[in-house]
Amino acid sequence: MATSDVVTLEDGTFDNEVLKSEIPVLVDFWATWCGPCKAIAPVVEQIAVDFKGKVKVGKMDIDKHQGVAQKYNVRSIPTLLVFKGGKVIDTVIGSDRTRLLESVRKAAS
């Protein structure tokens, strides 16, 4: 689940929270039954703390909110998309901590 530094995203809030954000946004598409999602969750939460004010971090449960996941062709989870200026600038599939941190650092700079 999302912490105070991680925004819980829904199909209805996605545009305002992500596409219209002034800062880059990391979106974690996940599900409660997904083992790799649970493995990467602490990293996602730490990114929210470490990059607070530079990168917004949100989590979207694909079982509850399927519209956005379908729009962005999320076919496996975890899928983590990095948005900047309303566009996807990077995609990380799976629980690759190093690759995820590299992507977020690049977006924040």
- Name the nearest CA neighbour of 82 among 32, 7, 18: 18
pLDDT at 103 over 70: yes
Residue range of the domain that includes 15: 6-108
Q: Span 30-40, mean pLDDT?
A: 95
Q: Span 78-89, mean pLDDT?
A: 97
Confidence of residue 1 (pLDDT cuts 50, 70, 90): very low
pLDDT at 104 over 90: yes
Confidence of residue 3 (pLDDT cuts 50, 70, 90): low
* Residue indicated by tokens 């590299």: 102
Write the CATH number for 81: 3.40.30.10
- Among 37, 44, 47, 48, the active-site one is 37
- Among 34, 69, 74, 100, the active-site one is 34
Residues in contact with 64: Cβ distance below 8 Å, sequence separation at least 6, in sequence order: 10
pLDDT of residue 4: 80
**Domain presence at residue 94:** yes
> Is 34 designated active site?
yes
Residue 18 and residue 27 in contact, taking contact as beta carbons nearer than 8 Å: yes
**Domain presence at residue 26:** yes
Confidence of residue 87 (pLDDT cuts 50, 70, 90): very high
**Domain presence at residue 19:** yes
**Domain presence at residue 1:** no
Enclosing H/E stretch for 71: helix 67-71
Mean pLDDT over each residue of the chain, to the nearest integer: 94
> Is 37 designated active site?
yes
**Domain presence at residue 60:** yes
pLDDT at 2 over 60: no
**Domain presence at residue 86:** yes
How many structural domains compose the chain?
A: 1
49 vs 31: CA distance, rounded Å:
22
pLDDT of residue 95: 87
